[in-house]
Amino acid sequence: MKKVIYSPGEPAGIGPDLIIKIACSQSWENFKIPIISIGDPNLFLERAKLLSKKINIDEIDSIRKSKPNRRSALQVIKLTKCRNTSPGKLYKSNGEYVLNNLNYAIKETIKDKKTALVTGPLSKENVISINKKFSGHTEYIQKITKSDDVLMMLASKKLKVALATTHIPLKEVHGKIRKQLIIDKVKILNKDLKEKFNINSPNIKILGLNPHAGENGKIGLEEINEIGPAIKILKNNKINVSNPISADTAFSMKVLEETDAYLGMYHDQVLPVLKALSFGDSINITLGVPIIRTSVDHGIALDIAGSNKSNTSSLELAIKTAKKLIK
């Protein structure tokens, strides 16, 4: 039976709020797939009280003991106690709790191909306090699954964008843009667009790194020395990719309509466009790994945690998409 494991992320943020609100809505039973939350039952009960929601906790010790969703009931696996369940303020003491939950969820998803992982937002600041090398969900999932490479993609009904580099300082980006990196990332993107999204011949647009895609070397050489040669090899491999295009015109309505996915060179080159068009209606999907993982498109939102102001649309879409991707 298909299942979803939900790792709520930072307990002081809206990750717990979202699953509680969905569990108390009509959507919960309509998903028609068991959803198991990983966390401290007391956290969910206390947060539900703040949200004026009545929930029951069905504590289980294995995802294999999960049952169909019942409205206003959460199936929860407790690994460790959440040190501080208060919303709105980060507590470093919760860093280990967050990482333990995420570790368990990833490993259980590896074991069972009929189980998908959906993640809520976490605080990198808190997790880094106990794991200095942590840089985000995507890279961490690559490490735990022992995958050779990984690709971060955000998707909505309007567009899909993937990232050649993810959570690194802007000053380091140009040093990472190399021919082999572009080849590897596009191959993952092309393969998963075919296999996961049933797109027979994906039309992939490759953005240049520099303004105007370098203007033939006048504003930078990465397009000539690295991106262009990578594209030549990809085309020779029958992958439908564009030449490097300027990011300032890449998202016009005409180009959007003909494009299945974009590969951007860095985080803030493409994500502001996606979020301007689809914030709250898009999700994060990890490609190139042997598990299905989707996530919300937003952060922990400390300012509204526990206030009932959070919007569940992105998490609902993440759950629906995860269910569709399970083969």
Spatial neighbors of 122 by CB under 8 A, at least 6 apart, are 9, 10, 13, 15, 98, 102, 137, 300
Instruction: Assess contact for 289 and 196: CB atoms under 8 A.
Output: no
Please report, for the chain, the start and end positions of each structural domain, with discontinuous segments joined by +.
1-147+289-327, 150-286
Fold of 1-147+289-327: Isopropylmalate Dehydrogenase (3.40.718)
pLDDT at 171: 97
Q: How many CB atoms lie within 10 A of CB 225?
A: 14
Positions in the chain whose pLDDT score sits under 70: none
pLDDT at 280: 86
CA atoms of 22 and 324, how far apart (whole Å): 18
Q: How many CB atoms lie within 10 A of CB 132?
A: 8
Pairing of strands 73-77, 56-59: parallel
pLDDT at 260: 98
204-206: strand order across its sheet: 56-59, 73-77, 35-38, 3-7, 115-119, 293-296, 283-287, 151-155, 160-163, 261-264, 204-206
pLDDT at 132: 87
pLDDT at 157: 93
Instruction: Assess contact for 15 and 309: CB atoms under 8 A.
Output: no
pLDDT at 175: 97
pLDDT at 133: 86
How much helix, strand and coil, in percent to the nearest 5, is found in the chain?
40, 15, 45
Superfamily of domain 150-286: Isopropylmalate Dehydrogenase (3.40.718.10)
Instruction: Name the token pair of 210.
Output: 């520099």
What is the dihedral sign for C-alpha 31, 32, 33, 39?
Answer: positive
Task: Detail the DSSP E strand segments found in the chain.
Answer: 3-7, 35-38, 56-59, 73-77, 115-119, 151-155, 160-163, 204-206, 261-264, 283-287, 293-296
* Coil, strand or helix at 233: helix
pLDDT at 229: 98
pLDDT at 135: 85
* Residue-wise pLDDT tens digits, 235-264: 999 999 999 999 999 999 999 999 999 999
pLDDT at 209: 98
pLDDT at 74: 98
pLDDT at 17: 98
Q: What does pTM read for this prediction?
A: 0.93
| DSSP characters over 5-70 | EEE---TTTTHHHHHHHHHTSTHHHHT-S-EEEES-HHHHHHHHHHTT---EEEE-S-GGG-----
pLDDT at 99: 95
